[in-house]
């Protein structure tokens, strides 16, 4: 029996190792590549580990953003346009993702409460249409939205992107929060009602304080969804005033005149916020993802 257990464990670890290589390997290779020098990066066969360990690629991006002239005089070449605007685009992405996350959780919570707790006509129609909204292809919405934005002079602005990103984040937060609210015992609410609280007070004083973990999970998922958004950002932004990190990352990826190392470093930088978030809050995220998926 013991022997059988040992073979079982060995097989499980072999399978785990295989999956780890397939699913984490590419990412590790990207990070490792970003610490190489350009001349090592273009060697055939590849140099497997960075030697020497170099941060030149990150230097171009950081110095390009803050001390472009110093960079140009030190290296004899100016940093690329993408490098110079990349950190600024990060700030834009951050502003957008944080605002979208905050407002979708706020508005989502009030919209989710009646779905979770009240009986009213059209409740299931509302729930189903929220699900359908999440399935509408962004490309179908993008055409009219771009036209509207141009006509109203709202293109190339962060606020427009914040607003538009809610179109796909809000249905998601409503869905997650109504599932979460259902897990709160209604006795607590009844006690509040007997003490003379109005529905609004019940939500503000009982439901919301008790849902902090659920609200936080939802906020994190909303942040991640918004951080990775590309299509609307591509179509709405026109200058570095509003470029997001995904738009500039795509510029890096499709450009021919930038060092490979810099392109790779740009990729690594763009995944730092979401990956750190994901690993740091993994328990919440997994529970959030699952509760959102449970049908009913």
Q: Which of residues 211-230 bind another protein (CB under 8 A)?
A: 224, 227-228, 230
What contacts 281, CB < 8 A, 6 or more positions away? 216, 217, 220
Of the candidate residues 82, 89, 246, 259, the single one contacting another protein (CB under 8 A): 246
Choose the binding region for another protein from 53-61, 66-74, 75-83, 162-170 (rule: CB under 8 A). 162-170
Shortest distance, position 191 Cβ to another protein, whole Å: 19
DSSP letters spanning 60-110: HHHHHHH-HHHHHHHHSSPPPHHHHHHHHHHHHHHHHHHHHHHHHHHHHHH
Q: For residue 294, give both structure tokens.
A: 């449970």
What is the distance between the alpha carbons of residues 88 and 92, in angstroms, rounded to a whole number? 6
Shortest distance, position 55 Cβ to another protein, whole Å: 18
Choose the binding region for another protein from 56-64, 69-77, 185-193, 268-276 (rule: CB under 8 A). 268-276
Of the candidate residues 71, 254, 258, 259, the single one contacting another protein (CB under 8 A): 254
Of the candidate residues 127, 138, 208, 210, the single one contacting another protein (CB under 8 A): 138
Q: Choose between 5 and 76: whose C-beta lies nearer to another protein.
A: 5
Is residue 255 close enough to count as binding another protein by CB under 8 A? no
Shortest distance, position 56 Cβ to another protein, whole Å: 17
Count of residues that interact with another protein, criterion CB under 8 A: 94
How many whole angstroms from its chain centre is CA 41?
29
In contact, 284 and 277? CB cutoff 8 Å: no
What is the distance between the alpha carbons of residues 216 and 285, in angstroms, rounded to a whole number? 10
Choose the binding region for another protein from 59-67, 83-91, 209-217, 249-257 (rule: CB under 8 A). 249-257
Q: Which of residues 82-121 bind another protein (CB under 8 A)?
A: 107-108, 110-111, 113-115, 118-121
Cis before 45 (ω within 30):
yes
Q: Choose between 85 and 266: whose C-beta lies nearer to another protein.
A: 266
Give the CB-side neighbour count of residue 174, counting CA atoms within 13 A: 22
Q: Which of residues 49-68 bind another protein (CB under 8 A)?
A: none
Choose the binding region for another protein from 27-35, 69-77, 188-196, 211-219 (rule: CB under 8 A). 27-35
Q: For residue 25, give both structure tokens.
A: 């390997």
Q: Choose between 212 and 294: whose C-beta lies nearer to another protein.
A: 294
Residue 25 class from Cβ within 10 Å (0-12 exposed, 13-18 middle, 19+ buried)?
Answer: exposed
Is residue 147 close enough to count as binding another protein by CB under 8 A? yes
């Amino acid at each position: 029996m013991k022997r059988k257990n040992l073979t079982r464990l060995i097989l499980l670890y072999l399978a785990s190792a295989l999956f780890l290589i397939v699913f984490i390997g590419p990412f590790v290779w990207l990070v490792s590549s970003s610490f190489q020098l350009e001349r090592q990066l273009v060697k055939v066969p590849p140099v497997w580990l960075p030697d020497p360990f170099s941060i030149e690629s990150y230097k171009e991006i950081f110095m390009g953003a803050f001390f472009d002239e110093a960079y140009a005089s030190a290296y004899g070449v100016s940093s690329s346009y993408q490098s110079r605007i990349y950190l600024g685009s990060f700030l834009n992405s951050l502003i957008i993702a944080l605002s979208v996350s905050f407002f979708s959780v706020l508005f989502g919570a009030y919209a989710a409460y009646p779905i979770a707790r009240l009986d009213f006509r059209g409740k299931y129609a509302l729930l189903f249409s929220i699900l359908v909204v999440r399935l509408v292809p962004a490309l179908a919405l993008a055409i009219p939205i771009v036209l509207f934005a141009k006509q109203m002079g709202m293109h190339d602005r962060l606020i427009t992107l914040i607003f538009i990103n809610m179109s796909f984040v809000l249905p998601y937060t409503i869905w997650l929060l109504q599932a979460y609210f259902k897990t709160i015992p209604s006795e607590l609410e009844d006690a509040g009602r007997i003490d003379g609280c109005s529905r609004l007070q019940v939500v503000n004083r009982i439901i919301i304080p008790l849902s902090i973990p659920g609200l936080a999970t939802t906020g994190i998922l909303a942040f991640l969804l918004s951080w990775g958004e590309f299509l609307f950002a591509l179509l709405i932004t026109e200058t570095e005033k509003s470029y997001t990190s995904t738009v500039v990352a795509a510029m890096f990826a499709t450009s021919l005149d930038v060092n490979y190392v810099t392109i790779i470093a740009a990729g690594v930088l763009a995944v730092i916020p979401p990956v750190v978030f994901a690993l740091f809050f993994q328990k919440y995220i997994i529970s959030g993802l699952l509760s959102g998926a449970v049908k009913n």
